[in-house]
Structure 1
C-alpha cells in the first residue's frame, strides 16, 4: 500500500504585494494524512546564508520503522513566488529553488516536481499534476501565479532505522522594512507516529555579526539556544503575533543552535531582520539622540555625522560590533548603552580583519569626512 506524507519547508523573503517587494516561497497546509508506524527519532535542520541572495537548506532525518518494509511517497510543497517578481516556472520547477537533492539511506534518489493548483491534489494514489501550459492557462499573471509545486520521491522504508537527507537553495529578497524573512514549517513533524521529533537540532548560520528576530512560536525563553553573542527579549512588538514578542539574537562568528528532546512544536519557525528606517532616513548621525544599528545593511550607506564626536563613534562601529573595549570614555560609554554591545577584552582591533564591506565603508567614511 502506498502512502503520502509531506515534509513542508517554506523560506520567505517577505510578505508583499504589488511593487513593495517579492516573496519567493510561502506556507501551505499539509494534506491531513497521519503516518501511524514510522517515527522521527532525530532531525538536524541547518539553514545557511551562502551568498547575499541565497539560503542553503539541509535537513537530515533519522526514522525508525518498527514494522515490515513500507513504501511511501515523500515530498514537500513549495508555493509560487509572488509580488514584483516573475513567477513563471522553469522547466516545470520552482523558478527560485535550485540544487534540490535527496539521499535516502545513503543513496541518491530521483525526484519529480509537479505543478498543482488545489490542496486536494493527491487522488487515487497519485499526484494530479498539471503541465506548465495547463497551470498558466489563458490569463497567466506572472506576479501572482495561482498554482504551487510539489517535490516528491518514492521511498521504501526498511524495518528499523532509515535516513533521509535533502537539500536545496532558495533566493532571498528584500522589502522596504525587512532585510530578509525566513519561515520554516515545523508542525508537520507531529504527523509521524510518535507525534514529535525525539531529538531535534536547528542550526542557523545566517551571517557573521548579524542581528535578527525569532518569533517565540515553538519555544519560550532562551534556555535551549546557544552560540549567540547575546539573546534579548525584543523591544519591538511581533510582526506576526499580538500576544508575544520575538527574541532578538545578536551573532558573532558562531552559528546559533537550538536543541530540544521530545520536540513537539506548536508553532512554526519565523525569523526576520528589520530595516532601521529611522537611521537610514536620517540626514546625519547624531550620537546624542540616536542609537546605532548592528547590522551592516542598516549603516552601510551612512556617512554624514552631526559633529566630530558622532564621527568618532560612527567610525569605530565595526570594532564595537566585535566587542572592542575603547579607551576613550566618550566612545565606550556610548556603546555600553547600545543593547547589542558585548564587551570582549580579548578582542584586538585590526582593520585588515574586518569584512570587505566594512573596510570599503570605513574608507569612504574617512574620505567624505576629510572633504
Structure 2
C-alpha cells in the first residue's frame, strides 16, 4: 500500500511541476525507438529543426540504421509528450493535438502508422513509458472527470483503479529491416511552446537514441534553420567536442549567461543554417532551442524596469548578455564583444532615473503625459508610438524619453494605474502610465 501511495505521489509531483512556469507546453520532438530489444544500431542521423512561422517547428530527420543480422520486422515508436496549459482535450484516437504531417519513409517506401495513448510512470530513474495502449473506455482526461479528482491537464484518471497517471501519445509503425544499411526519412511539425520569459521554446529529446544497440549515434549532424529572421539560444553542453558553424558565416557566440548556463547564440536569416557535426554522439541530456531570455518580445521583459548594462572605458553603454572568456557579450543595435578589462557591469533601474521610456506599441499608439502621477492631473501633451494615423511624417518612429524615475500614483487606493514613469518631456518633467509604456536601459 505504501508503495502504491508513493507511486501516486511521484506521478502527481511530476505532473504538477509544470505549473512552476507560466507558459504553455505543447510537446517535444523525439527520437524513434524500438519497442523490443534489438541488435540494430544507429549509424547516422541528420536532424534538421526549422523555426517556422506562426509558432510551428518543422522536423526533418534522416537516419541510417545498421542491421548486422538477418532481415527482420521491428515495431518502432515515437513518443509525443502530452500538452500542458493548452486546454486541449484528450484525443481518444491517440493523435497528438499539436503534431501534424507525421510521415515515415523507409528504404523508399512510405510506412503507415497507428496511434494510441500510453502511460508514463515516474521512478527515481526518471520517466518510464509503457507503450501498451491504454483502454480509453476506462481512462478519462481533463474535463471528463471532476477537477478535484484530476489536478492537471497532462494526466488521466481510471475510476476502477482510483488511479492517476501522466500520459503520452504514441505513434507506431512496423519497420521491415533488410540486412545491412536501412534508410529512414521521418518528418513532422509541432507547435512551439512558450512562457512569460520566452516567445518560443522548441524542446527535443535526444536521449532515446541510447535505446538502440550501439547506445549512440555513430555520425550525428544537427541543423537549425528558420523561415524568418530569428535569434535563438541553445545550451551547448552536449556539443563541446566540435564547433558550430553557419552556412552564411554568421557569427555564433558561445557565452555564459547570468544563470551560469553555457549556451550558443545566433541570429538566423531564412537562407542560413547553423550546423553541428560529431562522431560517436552519446546524448546524456535533451535539448531546447529557445528565444533569448532578454528578448523585448517576452511578457516578463514587458514589465521590466531594471537591467544589467556594461559601461566601457570610453563610457559607451551596452546591454549585458553574458561572458565569453575575457570579454563581455553585449548588445545595442547589434551583438558584439567588448573587453572586460576597463569595463564595468552595473545595474540600471528606472527608479534611480536610468534608461529611457517609450510607448508600448501593443497597448497604445499615443499616450498622455501628465503633470503629476495621476489620471486626474493636467495633460502636458502626448508621446507617440509612430503608428498613429493622425501624426505627421516627422513622428513615424517611436520617440524615446529620458527616464527620471518610477513612482507610485498619488492615490494608489483609488486609481487603477499604480505606477508612473517620470520622464523629461519638452524641457519639463512629466509622468506617463507604466501600463502603456515600456522602459529600456539605454
Q: Match of 1:71?
A: 73
* Higher strand proportion (structure 1 or 2): 2
Shift, 1:202, TM fit: 1.1
Q: Match of 1:326?
A: none
Q: Match of 2:153?
A: 143
Q: Match of 1:270?
A: 288
1:229 has 2:250 as partner: yes
Contact 1:46 1:202 in 2 (8 A): yes
Structure 1: distance between partners of 2:95 and 2:31: 20
Structure 2: distance between partners of 1:162 and 1:109: 14
| 1:198 maps to which of 196, 218, 224 | 218
TM-score (norm 2): 0.56
Shift, 1:213, TM fit: 1.3
Contact 1:211 1:251 in 2 (8 A): yes
Q: Secondary structure at the match of 1:179?
A: coil
1:179 has 2:196 as partner: no
Structure scoring higher RCO (CA < 8 A, sep ≥ 6) equals 1
Contact 1:18 1:84 in 2 (8 A): no
Q: Match of 1:128?
A: 133
| 1:246 maps to which of 257, 263, 270 | 263
Shift, 1:229, TM fit: 1.3
* Higher helix proportion (structure 1 or 2): 1
Task: Give the count of matched residue pairs.
Answer: 290
Q: Secondary structure at the match of 1:274?
A: coil
Q: Match of 1:258?
A: 276
Q: Secondary structure at the match of 1:218?
A: helix
Shift, 1:103, TM fit: 1.1
Structure 1: distance between partners of 2:192 and 2:137: 24
Tell me: CA distance 1:32–1:368, structure 2 relative to 1, closer, same or farther (3 Å). closer
Unpaired runs of 5+ residues, structure 2, are 1-16, 122-127, 156-165, 310-314, 322-330, 339-384, 389-394, 400-442
Q: Match of 2:88?
A: 86
Q: Between 272-281 and 27-36, report the one with greater CA deviation.
A: 27-36
Tell me: CA distance 1:198–1:249, structure 2 relative to 1, closer, same or farther (3 Å). same
| 1:215 maps to which of 235, 238, 242 | 235
TM-score (norm 1): 0.65
| RMSD, aligned α-carbons | 3.9
Structure 2: distance between partners of 1:174 and 1:167: 22
Structure 1: distance between partners of 2:231 and 2:282: 27
Structure 1: distance between partners of 2:23 and 2:30: 20
Contact 1:41 1:197 in 2 (8 A): yes
Shift, 1:289, TM fit: 5.2
After superposing on structure 2, the runs of 4+ consecutive aligned residues of structure 1 that deviate more than 6 Å are: 27-34
Q: Secondary structure at the match of 1:178?
A: coil
Tell me: CA distance 1:157–1:28, structure 2 relative to 1, closer, same or farther (3 Å). closer
Q: Between 203-212 and 66-75, report the one with greater CA deviation.
A: 203-212
Q: Secondary structure at the match of 1:190?
A: helix
Shift, 1:335, TM fit: 4.6
Q: Secondary structure at the match of 1:117?
A: strand
Q: Secondary structure at the match of 1:82?
A: coil
Contact 2:33 2:209 in 1 (8 A): no
Tell me: CA distance 1:29–1:52, structure 2 relative to 1, closer, same or farther (3 Å). closer
Q: Match of 1:37?
A: 39
Shift, 1:275, TM fit: 4.3
Tell me: CA distance 1:76–1:280, structure 2 relative to 1, closer, same or farther (3 Å). same
Tell me: CA distance 1:23–1:259, structure 2 relative to 1, closer, same or farther (3 Å). same
- 1:200-225 deviation digits (Å, cap 9, x = unpaired): 11111135432221112311276244
Contact 1:225 1:259 in 2 (8 A): no
Structure 1: distance between partners of 2:102 and 2:168: 16
Q: Match of 1:367?
A: 396
Larger radius of gyration: 2
